[in-house]
A = this chain, B = another copy of it.
Amino acid sequence: MMKKKPKKGLLIVNTGDGKGKTTAALGVLFRAWGRDMRVCMFQFLKHENASFGENKAARKLGIEITPIGDGFTWISRDINKSVARAQHGWELAKQRISSGDYDIIILDEFTYLLHYGWLNTNDVIVWLRENKPPMLHLIITGRYAPDTLIEFADLVTEMRVVKHPFKEQGIRAQAGIEY
């Protein structure tokens, strides 16, 4: 007799230098919203006043997308302020994750906080192991996903650049497609 495969909340990581890390997470959010699942997203490096395409769409639908960064913070002059803000964002995310109120939570561009050492990767993993509800799907995006995070994750995809027009043809980034 075939054993029925178990369901499980997955830790999903979209990493790599290519396009599609954030949009793939947004696509999952869109799909899950279609199934009336409870979803939310934190944008760790978008300015708190961000109003990109996804923010506009989310507002129209009543989906909670929370930008908590202060722009591209790693080039900020006041690095301490950026670090404090990122850590504050993680505290907010922890509340949502442990609340049990969501089916899918996206931590967009969260890997940078780990890569730049603003958060300790092992501390994050230990916290998730103890506090993530078993059925919650958590999606983490961003370049430079640390090896220990990849090891801990269930599903990891690398988005690899094969061809990029902004580098190769001098085409500029465009609304709707890029942001």
Contacts and interface: CB of A to CB of B under 8 A. Distances in A.
Contact of A53 (B35, B56, B157, B163): B35
Contacts of A16: 160
Interface residues on A, range: 35 or more
Interface in A92-125: 103-104
Contacts of A24: 19-20, 23-24, 27, 159
Given A22-B27, A23-B28, A30-B27, A150 B176 contact: no
Interface in A1-47: 4-8, 10, 12-16, 18-35, 37
Interface of A: 4-8, 10, 12-16, 18-35, 37, 52-61, 103-104, 137, 150, 153-165, 169-172, 174-177, 179
